[in-house]
Amino acid sequence: MGKRIVVALGGNALGNNLPEQMLAVKETARAIADLIEGGNEVIVAHGNGPQVGMIQKAMAELTRSDPEKYIPCPLSVCVAMSQGYIGYDLQNALREELLDRGIDKGVATVLTQVEVDPEDPAFNNPNKPIGAFMTKEEADKLVAERGYQVMEDAGRGYRRVVASPRPQNVVELGTIRALVDTDHVVVACGGGGIPVFATEGNHLKGAAAVIDKDFASEKLAELLDADYLIILTAVEKAAINFGKPNQKWLDTISVAEAEQYCQEGHFAPGSMLPKVQAAMTFAQSKPGRRALITLLEKARDGIEGRTGTVIVNS
């Protein structure tokens, strides 16, 4: 029987610039169409690192060209732009691939806001560098004028740093669910979602933060009552002793084993660690839920139990 699957796409599914993305999404669409053809319901989430970096840089240049006319573009708006642009490419590639296979399904991107907690400890320790490198003078000016936080980055100059809080809730959940329940393929939670704070009344306020796409995809999978969270990335499996002579690829592991490997420091923070943590959280959230980490082009093999690292609650 078909499963409900949230697929989280990593950077390699989208490429690093416009022409790369145009090409990459074709292969990505094939991998996703394989899952749909297998009778599964698929919801697509994705990262946005290079894309939001590009947009942020372009907007910063615009401000630099005429600061009176163009005030700095909030990060939340940059994330929204990246969701639109990536969604546009993914949506078109998926539509075409499905039609080529004789599958007639609606494909839609939902601009997704994800609520974060203003009390999240991440706000006391912004550590995610974003945007272009700056001189000390440029950085000082942004600190004074806009209250930005900046960090010197390995002798290469200054960069703005923002917090990476945990996702609490998906604002457009009802809309996403309605589309999924009526057999649409939905692209949602791009770039981890547009981070927002709930404020007084019904107002949502964009937050200067970035949400990790692995954690946002996990939250979305839980809220949609998915059976599977599939994190597609640049490696076929997670490994212990990664990159060392005694490296060992992991097949099926329990949450307890994963927890032990996390504590032993086998997974790099900022790359494999959030994936394993998201996978553990999902596998633990309800009996029967499973998480898989594998290569983009191995998605179908992975779900059929032939490859990837599977994390199960046992």
CA–CA distance, 241 with 246 (Å, rounded to integer): 6
266 touching ligand ADP, by CB under 6 A: yes
Task: List Cα–Cα distances, 221 to 41, 93, 121, 159, 229, in angstroms.
Answer: 12, 23, 24, 33, 6
- Exactly one of 134, 208, 239, 258 binds ligand ADP (CB under 6 A); that residue is 239
Classify residue 284 as exposed, middle or buried by CB count within 10 Å of its CB (0-12, 13-18, 19+): middle
CA–CA distance, 187 with 220 (Å, rounded to integer): 11
- Exactly one of 122, 185, 272, 303 binds ligand ADP (CB under 6 A); that residue is 272
- Helices marked H in the chain — which ranges? 18-37, 49-65, 75-100, 136-146, 173-181, 213-223, 255-263, 272-285, 299-303
Q: How many CA atoms lie within 13 A of 229 on its CB side?
A: 34
299 touching ligand ADP, by CB under 6 A: no
238 touching ligand ADP, by CB under 6 A: yes
CA–CA distance, 75 with 205 (Å, rounded to integer): 12
113 touching ligand ADP, by CB under 6 A: no
* Residues constituting the chain: 314
- Exactly one of 6, 207, 235, 303 binds ligand ADP (CB under 6 A); that residue is 235
Catalytic residue among 190, 275, 298, 308: 275
In angstroms, give the least distance from the CB of 298 to ligand ADP.
Answer: 13
CA–CA distance, 182 with 151 (Å, rounded to integer): 47
Is residue 213 annotated as part of the catalytic site, yes or no? yes
- Exactly one of 5, 6, 11, 30 binds ligand ADP (CB under 6 A); that residue is 11
- Exactly one of 234, 251, 256, 265 binds ligand ADP (CB under 6 A); that residue is 234
215 touching ligand ADP, by CB under 6 A: no
> What is the phi/psi pair of residue 170, to 5°?
-100, 115
Is residue 84 annotated as part of the catalytic site, yes or no? no
Catalytic residue among 213, 219, 237, 298: 213
In angstroms, give the least distance from the CB of 268 to ligand ADP.
Answer: 4
Is residue 313 annotated as part of the catalytic site, yes or no? no
Is residue 11 annotated as part of the catalytic site, yes or no? yes
Is residue 48 annotated as part of the catalytic site, yes or no? no
Q: Near ligand ADP by CB under 6 A, which window of 35-43, 81-89, 90-98, 233-241?
A: 233-241
CA–CA distance, 259 with 273 (Å, rounded to integer): 10
What does the DSSP 8-state code read for residue 124?
G
Catalytic residue among 38, 128, 169, 313: 128
Q: Per-residue string for binding with ligand ADP, 33-72, x by CB under 6 A?
A: --------------x-------------------------
Contact residues: ligand ADP, CB under 6 A: 10-11, 47, 233-235, 238-239, 242, 266-268, 271-272
Active site residues: 11-12, 128, 213, 275
